[in-house]
Structures are given as C-alpha cells and as structure tokens.
C-alpha cells in the first residue's frame, strides 16, 4: 500500500534533532521501563504501560487500549483497556486521583489489588469484543479514508493500515468507531494515535490512545516516547510468551506430552483473570476414558499407556492453537477453551467423543470410548476450582447415564 499519509512519529535525522524530553518525561520513561523489565506477566506489562500513558505524570492521554495477537497469529483481540467511557466519568476519576494524591509510581504498585476489580476494567469489558483478522489486513486497509477526513470509520480499518504500513497513525478529525450490533450507544476513540507493536518476525499487537476529553497536542518528543514505549512493550510481551513456553516445556506430562496438572492450574487462573477483565467467555471440558481399569486388566498396563497416548493425540489434533490440553491425572484429561461459549464447548466435546470412538476402531485393542463434562464461565466470573468442580459433576453424570456421551453444567456465577 502506498505511503499516502505523513508519519506522525519522528522518521528522519532532522525529526530526531527536534526531540526534547523534559525532566518529567525522562523520569516517566525510566519508571515505566524499569517496571516493564521487572515483570514476566503479560497482564502486568499491559497495566504498567496503559497506566503510564494515561497518567498525568506520564503522557497524559485520556484512554488506552492494547490489542494482542493470538498465539496462532490469526487475529488481534482486546488485551486490556484503561480510561473512562464517558466524559463525566473521566472527570470523576481525575478528581479522585487528585484527592488521593495518587502518583504514577503508586499507581504502578497497586496492580495486584486492582487486577480482579471489575470497576477497574470497565473499558476492557466494553471493548472486549474487538477482533481483527490478521489474514484479511489488506481487505480492511483498502477501506481506510484519508487521516484528515472529518467523520468516523471502523477501528479495524485503521488498525489494519497501521500494521500493513508498519508505522503509527494519528488523526484529530477522524473518529475510530468501536461498535457491535448490540451496542445501545456508540463508542469512538477521538484525537487518537495507533502504534503497531512489531518484532522483525511477528505482529505482537497494537496500542491505541486518545485525547477524547481534553485538548491533546503531543510534542515530537512525546510522539517519540510513545513509539519507544510501544517498541519496549512488544519486546517485553514476546519475552513473556517465550518464558511461558519454556516453562510449559518443563511442565508437561511425561507419558502423553500434554500439559500437566500444574500447568493447567496456572493457565486457568490466568485465563479467568483475563475473562474478568474483558468479559469474554471461557469453557472447559473434563474427559475420562470409559472403563479404563477393565481395559488395563484385559490388555495390560503397557496397552493402557498406549491408550492414554492415543486419546491425548486425538485431543491435541482437534485443539486450536489457543486451547490448552492437559492430562489432569490417571485417565482424566481437561481441555481449556478460551473465547468459547457453553453451547460451543458442548459441540467440541461431542466431536472429541465421536473422533475417539471412530479412530480407535483401527487400533490393536479395538474401540475406546470416552465421556465428557462441560462447564463455562461466561465472563470469567468463576474461580478455577468451582469451574472444574462443575465440569467434573457433569462428567460423573455422563458416566451414570451410560458413558460415551457428554453432559454439561451451566450456571451463571
């Protein structure tokens, strides 16, 4: 795509010569950089950056949004958002911060106390549905208007253009519309900046900030600082993912190669936290091999190990890149399905049961069947223990009702 708009961030040596950072800006850069580098938790990295860019001691934007690429590099989804939805709320928050004399350093230190607070994630939940397919960037970007246009366009359009052109975009006149069919009132980013988060090999995500409730002239120095913080965020997020992958390799089940119970427990805690922040659903399927003791008695324990590996391979082959498949213990498995409703999880479970039954007919020991229990947390509002117990209850109901079947447990917390 031709580079039809001037870049809002410094590009040339002459631009760089204009960069002057105030002592406050330098202090902000040091504080945020230190906080980012000290964390290996993606959510905390997002919180640190968004708190920094929206703080009066930081870059002073009114609102900030991170969208992150999924592990399969198929789409961007809302990661975290900070700021007010309405002008009145913005002034109330500002007055509270002034009254509490809440400094940026103090704000960064309270992450653990606010990460599960629904009031702290209202904007994340409001924008939790945002989604951009990375496989159709050119199609989205082809609809991008000129940045000087007065009006509104879909946020996905400008995100795609920023990612394709690999540079920040800014407009004072074009509003970014974040809408879905069920929205009763429109939401837009106003006087906004989009900064792509990129490495040499991957799209990490995008950072969106705006000045919806205040006049926001951003100096060349602060433009450069915003881009620098975005670059640092991309590196830190990738580092965190690599750390998680390395840790997962050390936490696999030795027999099946699946994640083990400890890895499952860590993952479910992290994903439920994200669900509470964004309002997106999470479902799990707990599965058990039918009459496994009888199978071992008949075919021997070596065949039993082969059967466990067979079921594990079927579960893994039918999982998405974003799903987590774990051996929970013995002949019991669990599949974690992010962004999946209760009804969708029931369909997935039915498919898994059918696939195991059909594909096992070609094995030396003949047909194997499994049963499954499904449970969901519609908005992450359930703890991991309760979610698993609900799925486990459904699993035992499936056993009582004849096995080779799925049962579900649905309850809104």
Residue 332 is a catalytic residue: no
On the question of pLDDT at 186 being above 60, the answer is: yes
pLDDT of residue 413: 47
What per-residue confidence (pLDDT) applies to 411?
60
- DSSP code per residue over 18-44: T----HHHHHHHHHHHHHHHT---HHH
In this prediction, residue 4 has a pLDDT band, given cuts at 50, 70 and 90, of: very low
Percent above pLDDT 90 for the chain: 58
pLDDT digits (tens, 9 = 90+) for 331-352: 999 999 999 999 999 999 999 9
- The mean per-residue pLDDT over the stretch 2-28 comes to 60
Q: How far are the Cα atoms of 88, 89, 91, 115, 122 from residue 95, in angstroms, in the given order?
A: 11, 10, 6, 22, 18
Q: Assign domain 13-247 one CATH number from 3.40.50.300, 3.30.450.40, 3.90.1150.10, 3.30.70.1150.
A: 3.30.450.40
Lowest mean pLDDT among 24-33, 116-125, 177-186: 177-186
**Between 128 and 410, the higher pLDDT residue:** 128
Average pLDDT, the chain: 87
3-state secondary structure of 164: helix
Average pLDDT over residues 291-298: 94
Is residue 282 within 8 A of residue 275, CB to CB? The reply is yes
Q: What is the mean pLDDT of residues 107-134?
A: 83
Band (7; pLDDT cuts 50, 70, 90) = very low
Helices 220-249/42-54 angle, 10° precision = 170
pLDDT in tens, 18-35: 567 788 888 888 888 998
Say what the pLDDT of residue 93 is: 65
Cβ neighbours of 239 (radius 10 Å): 16
pLDDT in tens, 206-247: 999 999 988 777 888 889 899 999 999 999 999 998 888 787
Which distant-in-sequence residues (6+ apart) come within 8 Å of 148 by Cβ? Answer: 171, 173, 174
How far is the C-alpha of 38 from the C-alpha of 33, rounded, in Å? 9
18 neighbors 42 (Cβ within 8 angstroms): no
69: three-class secondary structure by DSSP: strand
The model's pTM is 0.71
Domain map of the chain by residue range? 13-247, 251-409
The CATH number assigned to the domain with range 251-409 reads 3.30.70.270
Q: Of 14, 13, 55, nearest to 32 (Cα)? A: 55
Q: Are 10 and 224 in contact (CB under 8 A)?
A: yes
List the structure tokens of 19. 């960069």
Q: How far apart are CA 331 and CA 292, in angstroms?
A: 7
Could you read off the pLDDT of 369-399 as tens digits, one per residue? Answer: 999 999 999 876 788 999 999 999 999 999 9
Are 150 and 174 contacting, i.e. CB atoms less than 8 angstroms apart? yes
Q: Which of helix, strand or coil describes residue 196? A: strand
Q: What share of the chain is helix, strand, coil (3-state, %, to 5)?
A: 45, 20, 35
DSSP-based three-state secondary structure for 104? helix
Say which range, 40-44, 69-73, 370-374, has the weakest mean pLDDT. 69-73
Predicted pLDDT at 88: 77
Query: Of residues 243 and 250, which shows the higher confidence score?
Result: 243
Per-residue confidence (pLDDT) for residue 214, from 0 to 100: 84
DSSP reduced 3-state for 146: coil
Q: Which candidate in 165, 175, 331, 407 is catalytic?
A: 331
What is the model's pLDDT at position 102?
Answer: 60
Which range has the worst mean pLDDT, 104-108, 132-136, 222-226, 239-243? 104-108
Which residue would you say has higher pLDDT here, 183 or 284?
Answer: 284
CA nearest 219: which of 59, 66, 7, 83? 59
Q: What is the mean pLDDT of residues 358-365?
A: 92
């Amino acid at each position: 795509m031709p580079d039809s708009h001037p870049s809002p961030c410094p590009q040339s040596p002459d631009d760089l010569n204009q960069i002057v950072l105030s002592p406050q800006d330098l202090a902000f850069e040091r504080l945020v950089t230190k906080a980012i580098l000290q964390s290996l938790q993606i959510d905390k990295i997002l919180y640190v950056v968004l708190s920094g860019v929206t703080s009066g001691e930081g870059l002073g934007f009114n609102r900030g949004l991170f969208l992150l690429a999924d592990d399969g590099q198929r789409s961007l989804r809302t990661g975290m958002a900070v700021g007010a939805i309405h002008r009145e709320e913005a002034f109330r928050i500002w007055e509270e911060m002034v009254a509490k004399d809440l400094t940026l350093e103090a704000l960064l230190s309270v992450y653990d106390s606010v990460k599960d607070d629904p009031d702290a994630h209202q904007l994340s939940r409001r924008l939790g549905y945002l989604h951009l397919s990375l496989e159709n960037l050119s199609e989205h970007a082809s609809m991008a208007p000129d940045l000087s246009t007065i009006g509104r366009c879909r946020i996905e359009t400008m995100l795609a253009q920023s990612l394709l052109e690999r540079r920040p975009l800014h407009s004072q006149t074009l509003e970014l519309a974040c809408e879905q069919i069920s929205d009763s009132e429109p939401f837009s980013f106003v006087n906004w900046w989009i900064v792509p988060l990129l490495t040499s090999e991957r799209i990490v995500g995008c950072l969106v900030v705006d000045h919806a409730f205040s006049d926001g002239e951003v100096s060349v120095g602060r433009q450069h600082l915003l881009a620098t913080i975005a670059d640092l965020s991309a590196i830190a997020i990738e580092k965190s993912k690599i750390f998680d992958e390395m840790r997962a390799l050390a936490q696999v089940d030795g027999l099946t190669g699946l994640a083990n119970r400890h890895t499952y427990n860590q993952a479910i805690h992290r994903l439920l936290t994200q669900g509470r922040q964004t309002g997106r659903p999470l479902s799990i399927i707990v599965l058990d091999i039918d009459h496994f003791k009888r199978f071992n008695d008949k075919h021997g324990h070596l065949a039993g190990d082969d059967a466990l590996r067979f079921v594990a391979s079927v579960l893994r082959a039918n999982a998405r890149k974003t799903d987590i498949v774990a051996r929970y213990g013995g002949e019991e498995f669990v599949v974690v399905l992010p962004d999946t409703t209760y009804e969708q999880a029931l369909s997935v479970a039915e498919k898994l049961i059918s696939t195991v039954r059909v594909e096992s007919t070609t094995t030396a020991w003949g047909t194997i069947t499994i049963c499954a229990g499904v449970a969901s947390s519609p908005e992450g509002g359930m703890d991991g223990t309760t979610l698993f117990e609900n799925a486990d209850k459904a699993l035992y109901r499936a056993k009582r009702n004849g096995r080779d079947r799925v049962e579900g447990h649905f309850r809104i917390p």
